Chains A and B, each alone.
Chain A
Amino acid sequence: MASESDLQEMFQYFRIQKLLNEEAKCLDDWRLQDWLSLYTEDASYYVPPTDIAAAEADPTKHLYYIADNRGRMEERVTRLEKKTCHAEFPRSKVQHVVSNIVVNDSLENGRLSVSASFVIYRSKNGSTDMFMGSYLYELANIEGQLRICKKMCSLALDGLRPQAKISIIL
């Protein structure tokens, strides 16, 4: 028989998995406002450079690919919703595959640290780019809902060759 704590752990894992899947689905469907609603008001979204070790990278000291606070995440969505966002007009087809979810130790601020693996396909103009790597999330319970405070996407790539651009949200 599963113990009470096993059940709790399973339930928590289930909630995390549900949230991550929901996020992937929002992004694949280009429902970007819904994507934003999964994030807290003080959220951040990062894609560090591929030539600095993940543990050392710091967005205030190193040149990232993306280092957004909530304000800039909103602006990113605003941009992606315009026809004048030429890189994504017409929009590419996007498929996020998320797996290998691991719940790390809880953080000091009471947030959950969660990592997962991703593979993302972006198809447009007859060619397909792939992005792969790992997510590191900080999650928090906000009024009974699990929400994302921070998402870091570490690319398991040697530079962006041949992808050239991260015009979608990873």
Chain B
Amino acid sequence: METPYIIDDRDGGRFKVARETFTSQEVFEKERDLIFQNCWLYLGHESELKEASAFVARTVADQNILFVRGRDNVIRALFNVCPHRGSTVCREKRGKAKTFQCMYHGWVFKNTGELAHLSGENAYSKDFKEGDESNLRPVPRLEQYAGFYFICFNKDVEPLEDYLAGSKEYLDVVSAQSAQGMEIIGGTQEYSIQANWKLLVENSVDGYHAESTHATYLDYLMNTNGGLTATRLAGKGYDLGNGHAVIEYSAPWGRPVAQWIPMWGEDGKKEINQVYDELVGRVGAETAEKIATKNRNMIIFPNLVVNDIMAITVRTFYPTSPNSMMVNGFAMGVVGESDWRREYRLSNFLEFIGPGGFATPDDVEALEQCQNGFKSAANAPWNDISKGMKAAVPSFDDELQMRAFWREWNRRVSEFEEK
């Protein structure tokens, strides 16, 4: 690229991003080598592997990974690639299995990754099976925080907890919603967007767009809650370090933990009061209030979004080309919660989030229209994300979150140039 990626003018209060960073093949390749190879990437949640021998086969940054709890109860991340000649080994998305057999020449692996059996064994040298090389390769690093498992393809990466920096506190806030723990609810929203992945990063923590992009959703809330509600969209944005950021704000929608809305009726009120009281008893009034009534949209650099809003969504995505991405969206709920609460949680989720919701389709439209606009990058080269740059206390609808992401992005991608 001819121009800098970003212009970060703190004195002048101007922050610009070159639109070419969303369209360039060269940038896409740098991201692959410098970001997705070197950063901690979300793989899955511990609740997806409840029992020994449970597995989930997943694609992370274009690589096929087997997330598996072995027969020895150890959770592993293995490359889902046959050490023999490279075929994908497990071709089911999830299930339980003690062994995995490669379809090509039939090598059989224990769910710990170890080669258990190969036909024609006596044609190989004696100690062939003993060596590491014939086992499924583990991903170089796998670590977890609060049940969220991350992998890194670079074995020398800093420990996950250091990497997560200030975002840990907000993962703790999600965990603290229940004494019984949190879980991923079955059913994945899997979709693609014809836009650069960084557009979804920005959008996921964008408090500025709600009133315009999501006008119909806000209308819907008004409509279904009899004119609702005193709660305004208001709050703050925080830079959490290492490219992570969060906005925390109040909002007019109901929250299963624990903000009641009229649409939920008297039964709902009872449920929500109980949830609130339990929270106060367990974590104290102040924290309970924060957990229950505040919403949080968080980006963990580079590609994990944990939005604790009208429901909790865990969303991860990665680029498939400069102008397309794959997205996986999950709903998270409280282990063992009441049927009422689970039903309303899901209902709340669907109202807003995902391909069939009243909001996400409009986000997708916005992202695709931006990508479309970037075709003029050579003639109209800059995005502006200066909003609130000089504010003493950044508001949730300022653009601090995006600047935090972009500064880290720029640092990592530019490092290459200096070497």
Contacts and interface: CB of A to CB of B under 8 A. Distances in A.
Partners in one complex: yes
A64 B350 contact: yes
Interface in B85-120: 93-94
Contact of A162 (B215, B324, B372): B324
Interface stretch (B76-84, B182-190, B234-242, B248-256): B182-190
Contacts, number: 125
A102 interface: no
B331 A160 contact: no
Interface in A29-50: 47-50
Interface residues of B, number: 44
A84 B361 contact: no
A65 B188 CA distance: 9
A79 B94 CA distance: 36
B406 interface: no
Contacts of B188: 49, 51, 63, 159
A158 B350 CA distance: 20
B128 interface: no
- Most chain A beta-carbon contacts within 10 A, residue among B343, B346, B368: B346
Contact of B343 (A51, A60, A66): A60
Interface in A18-33: none
Nearest to A68: B350
B276 interface: no
A76 interface: yes
Nearest to B216: A79
Contacts of B173: none
A75 B141 CA distance: 47
Nearest to A160: B191
Interface residues of A, number: 39
Interface in A128-170: 158-167
B362 A85 contact: yes
Nearest to B340: A60
Contacts of A87: 361-362, 364-365
Contacts of B24: none
B316 interface: no
Contact of B366 (A47, A85, A86): A86
Given A75-B224, A165-B361, A49 B187 contact: yes
Contact of A66 (B185, B215, B356, B366): B356
Contacts of B358: 75-76, 79
Contact of A63 (B93, B94, B220, B349): B349
A52 B354 contact: no
A69 to B, nearest CB: 9
B326 interface: yes
B360 interface: yes
B190 A51 contact: yes
A132 to B, nearest CB: 15
B160 to A, nearest CB: 27
A165 B364 contact: yes
B224 A71 contact: yes
A78 B223 contact: yes
A72 B351 contact: yes
A62 interface: yes
A89 to B, nearest CB: 9
Closest 3 A-B residue pairs measured CB to CB?
Answer: A159-B190, A63-B187, A87-B361
26 contacts: A47-B356, A49-B186, A51-B190, A59-B346, A60-B339, A62-B346, A63-B189, A63-B330, A63-B349, A63-B350, A64-B350, A67-B346, A78-B223, A79-B219, A79-B358, A82-B219, A87-B364, A125-B368, A159-B192, A160-B191, A161-B192, A164-B194, A165-B356, A165-B360, A165-B364, A166-B361
Interface of A: 47-52, 57, 59-67, 71-72, 75-76, 78-79, 82, 84-88, 125, 158-167
